[in-house]
Structure 1
Amino acid sequence: MKYFFGILIIIFCFSCGSNTVIYPDKALEKKTNHETFSYKEGDTTYVMQKYFLVLLKKGPNRNQDEEETTEIQKKHMAHISWLAEQNFISIAGPSENHETVSGFLLFNTETMKQADSLAKLDPAVKAGRLEVETLPWWAAKGSKLK
């Protein structure tokens, strides 16, 4: 458990990749038609885009020994790196001292179903250490953390 909370990963906007993304055992055409809307406030026009916030919640199966926990965590981090390399996530990181939420992933996918499916490929989710809750979230396109 100390490994999960001890590792902080923040991933910012990634460059665009190819149009085809290879998932385990299949190919998926990566779409670029994200849901957006525009509104004008004064002289500024804002383009809002729908993203998907995934809450990584503590799962029901957290009784693995230290060696197995370490291996699951290593695979979990590799999965997050893969999501970043494929430009599916804009940012990721653990929460601190929360009773139920262990971390967050902000997906930049076209649909909630796609974000949810990708999050559920995480080895920590498959092992039951984490559960996924996916929420739609709107932000101005091109927003940055400050």
Structure 2
Amino acid sequence: MERIAFFAFSILCFALLSSCGTDEKTPPKPVTVDMQESPTVSGLKKDLEERGYEIFDYIDEKTGDTILMQQYYIAFLKSGPDRSQSPEVADSLQALHMAHLARMYEEGYADISGPFGDDGEIRGITIYNTPTLKMADSLANMDPMVTAGRLVIEVHPWWAAKGFPLR
């Protein structure tokens, strides 16, 4: 019986993940920047503003370059109130969690995700590339680990320069 409930839950999560939107309208696709293509700052600013993103720019005193800053949303994935699932259910939820994060990345809504290296309350982060906190929070809360109660989400606005890679 537990196995049937587990599979039904997995199918329900997959169906929700596959068919759910965050709103009645399809959310706007995030803007990605390939600085190799040298988009103009003014063109990029206009595009981001039209899509509803919060931005500002400044002049780098050292280089004289215009640096365009965009607001992203960083979601902290924290230990949730229900971590009592069987190992089989927890493994299935982990697979669904990874599929959710892959989907967010593939669709351009998440730029980077990963777990923390310790065993603390904060289990990992995802940086969402969305124009609003509401959208980032909605996408983060669609995670099957969150809907199952194994994780809870805490989202904060976060600023970063467009086109600067991690080093």
Q: TM-score range by the shorter chain?
A: 0.7 to 0.9
Q: 1:24 Cα shift?
A: 1.4
The change in CA–CA distance for 1:102 and 1:86 in structure 2 (over 3 A counts) is same
Tell me the SS of whatever aligns to 1:49: strand
Cα deviation, 1:11-64, whole Å, max 9, x if unaligned, reads xxxxxxxxxxx8516551416331100111321211100000000000010011
Any stretches of 5+ residues in structure 2 without a counterpart?
1-17, 30-50
Larger Rg: 2
The answer on 1:30 being equivalent to 2:28 is yes
Superposition RMSD on alpha carbons, in Å? Answer: 1.6
Whose helix fraction is larger, Structure 1's or Structure 2's? 2
Cα deviation, 1:56-89, whole Å, max 9, x if unaligned, reads 0000100111000011111111100110111000
Quick one: which of 83, 89, 94 aligns to 2:115? 94
Quick one: which of 58, 83, 100 aligns to 1:79? 100
The change in CA–CA distance for 1:54 and 1:29 in structure 2 (over 3 A counts) is closer
Quick one: which of 50, 56, 75 aligns to 1:54? 75
> Percent sequence identity over matched residues?
40
Any stretches of 5+ residues in structure 1 without a counterpart?
1-21
Query: TM-score, normalised on structure 2?
Result: 0.70
Query: Would you identify which runs of 4 or more consecutive aligned residues in structure 1 move more than 4 Å?
Result: none
Cα deviation, 1:81-130, whole Å, max 9, x if unaligned, reads 11011100010000111421111000000001100000000000000000
